[in-house]
Chains A and B, each alone.
Chain A
């Protein structure tokens, strides 16, 4: 029997009914009177100066209310304080195909689109950079003038003594890995509705209200304030239901600022909803990454040193880039015990949409390389891949060589579980030709221990208000984006107060109502907002208990709360009748004290939740509680440059086994099953944890086998849900989630993250299974049939198929500008004769 009444139970999300009936409202479901439709004009050039913009014809069109350009809001912003390099609309220069040039507000979508056609823009094309290694050589026509060599940021970290470590190794593996670009493709296209009120005192445009599909309402409020030069107190950001984020809504997306700027100019509410194509253009996904990795191991598999050089193709703006490149290095640590690490990270600007944070931020591509190489060393040394992972386990509590503190560590249990469930020892090596098993591990932060904007503020705060009706209202800034944030908050509060979930109403992510919270990213909500909710509930419980103790003539320590009742320790509790009536004590709500006085002639030993609440309000004059969370100083990492990224109060752990077959005729890889064991500390709601783990594994599977953004001259070739090839139900294998509970000492009820950590293990588990099946090492993702076939041919020593120049997925040397897809035979499709980018790049294709 569980010691908890709500925690650990399989329960439906508190907002589930709204989702299955269609009653739940997402940003695009809102309308306000007088609302206009906004449409954005995007750049057709990857890199060009804007010489002239003439909007007069567009303005003259009947039904157009406003046209705005970069000059209307030139203040720079960006999600990172070190990366304020974006403007709402381009000022003087465009940096990628799809960059934002102008916005029209009109009475209908049709008229707005007509007006876009009437805007005249004169561009002067500049040389564009598409390959990060080429881009790093640039000396002129830089993408941002203040970034020499188009280098956004580089870091060079040495921990321990890597040279000595490699010298001690019995075997050193070295290879280049390439991970192509993927994007979130959340089902809900981004949408923002911005509306100004008239200030009654000045008679002018006053407060701004924004409904937006965002994971970070408070950052949005902050950046709107910067760009619009409005005090933050004059801006209200409301996050309605969000149709998936995965990091794609974890920063300020151009349309959020543009909608507000346009509404200000139009003097009317403006709603902008991206088309699916625009969602692909705005991107902010996982960058294409080149990883040069070197691992030294002893004969028993123990890792002596790791050297890793990472180049990320970051796109045209900084976005989360500096954090991404740091995560790629920092989270080499904290999974295994690695004594010596060298890391060189380069975040490079190119003329493509900006990359940002995506599920497993910064860690996924490097983890693919690392776990693949570890498997390779195991094979070379004749060791069981599972055993190699076991000999490299950390011994917590530990601080890694790069300063990450690890307390709870469920990885050993995860490895054991997947070995048992997949029958690893029995089946591996006994499978028919073309079928194999592969193993890999991963981990992830439960929120960053240091916030983006350095300050001493708590990362999460939760307020609770309880009134005489016995209803508990919880105010949290945490953003529900489908991961179960609101449900987790309700569960934590209900558990502490010993009441049913039905009493709890969660008000979330509305900057006017809820206390500040950094938002939903880096898997921080359960750990941080969960801890804040726990403390807020304990705070309010203290007041209920002290009043109840008075009524029951006992000390507060002897007051117990559970099952919607409050009683004195040791009292024989009456059967449910009284508490069952708790819904029918309306007379008590206002006259509670009178009623209670009459009842209380004999000493009370128990009361209903309402009675206790009424007693507490009478006693304290009100019943509220507040709690906040900031990560402890010990968990905030080392002192080196860039040490702020990577530290977390706790890490989740994952181990996976993939069962895969490879068709040697067609190159098609079929994943039959994945066993995924995940250490989430404690599963507060197993249904939600399993959903997160399975969803992560599934998304990793998409990146491993089929998802890829394909580029040609800076133009995306596949900006559609089918062309991008998000896996459908027929392509999705059985995924078995095994929950491992390590009970973290600092997590709320011991909980850690569950939403991201599993993703990174899936890709190498599949690549290692492909090796087990057919003996090829694929070092470039996704493992499309073309790449698998090319590798099988290379293994046989057969001539390369001339599908594209220089492709060898086992030894990728460089990026191909078209993303390495072999669909285009290395050339890409014909460009339209009048396509401006064509003229620039020589134009012979």
Chain B
């Protein structure tokens, strides 16, 4: 299949590249743009290791055609760090043992980041529901919840302090 020129916006930067019309977004991110943070775990959108955000919505890059997402704002795990340091969620995953082998972690980062952006104080069932799009074989998810709860709590305190300061 002949390659075509496409334009993708990834992590706030524009990229022009040649891709086959059937090229998967995950393959383009990993192989053409060198953004290997997004992982392939299952090939068929079962496991969520390839989760990226498209216009803020978590989606599974392993079954998306790259050409279809021109003009969208694509965010990968490489795009959520906080000014060169770890974002609060990334730090919390380390502190609470939210990742072990870490292969599923980028996908979880994108899913949880998406959840907290749209719902800053999710209930326990809401967290579980959101996480069910991603599989992990190491942790049993328990320590992820601890990490996520700590981030929510810190964020809440932060908001309260700001409110008081105002």
Contacts and interface: CB of A to CB of B under 8 A. Distances in A.
A328 B31 CA distance: 45
A695 B100 contact: yes
B97 A243 contact: no
B53 interface: no
B25 interface: no
A689 to B, nearest CB: 9
B77 A22 contact: yes
B86 A482 contact: no
A276 B42 contact: yes
A695 B43 contact: no
Nearest to B145: A729
B67 interface: no
A698 B140 CA distance: 5
Interface in B55-98: 76-78, 81, 86, 89-91, 93-98
B142 interface: yes
A17 B94 contact: yes
A319 B135 CA distance: 28
A186 interface: yes
Interface size class of B (residues with CB under 8 A): 35 or more
B101 A732 contact: no
A490 interface: no
Contacts of A25: 36
Interface stretch (A171-179, A628-636, A720-728): A720-728
A294 to B, nearest CB: 34
A483 B137 CA distance: 12
B142 A187 contact: no
Nearest to A732: B141
A694 B100 CA distance: 12
In this complex, the interface size class of chain A, counting residues with CB under 8 Å from chain B, is 35 or more
A110 to B, nearest CB: 8
A150 B140 CA distance: 38
Contact of A481 (B30, B42, B46, B101): B101
B24 to A, nearest CB: 11
B106 A694 contact: no
A497 interface: no
Contacts of B132: 728-730
Interface string A20-37: 111111101101000000
B140 A697 contact: yes
Contacts of A734: 142
A564 interface: no
A243 B81 contact: no
B35 A22 contact: yes
Contacts of B81: 21
A17 to B, nearest CB: 6
A20 B105 contact: yes
Interface in B88-130: 89-91, 93-106, 109, 127-129
A244 B137 contact: yes
Interface in B133-165: 134-144
B90 A21 contact: yes
A721 B42 contact: yes
A501 interface: no
A275 interface: yes
B93 A20 contact: yes
A187 B104 contact: yes
5 closest cross-chain pairs (CB), A and B: A22-B37, A482-B101, A698-B140, A19-B102, A243-B103
27 contacts: A12-B95, A16-B93, A16-B94, A18-B102, A20-B77, A20-B98, A20-B105, A21-B77, A22-B36, A22-B78, A22-B106, A26-B39, A186-B101, A187-B101, A188-B41, A241-B103, A482-B102, A483-B100, A687-B143, A690-B97, A698-B142, A729-B127, A729-B128, A729-B141, A729-B144, A732-B140, A735-B140
Given A21-B37, A720-B44, 16 more contacts: A13-B99, A19-B102, A21-B81, A25-B36, A26-B103, A185-B137, A187-B41, A243-B41, A276-B46, A482-B100, A691-B138, A691-B139, A694-B142, A720-B42, A720-B46, A728-B131
Interface of B: 1, 30-31, 35-44, 46-47, 49, 76-78, 81, 86, 89-91, 93-106, 109, 127-129, 131-132, 134-144
Interface of A: 10, 12-13, 15-26, 28-29, 31, 110, 184-189, 241-246, 273, 275-277, 481-484, 687-688, 690-691, 694-695, 697-699, 701, 720-722, 726, 728-730, 732, 734-735
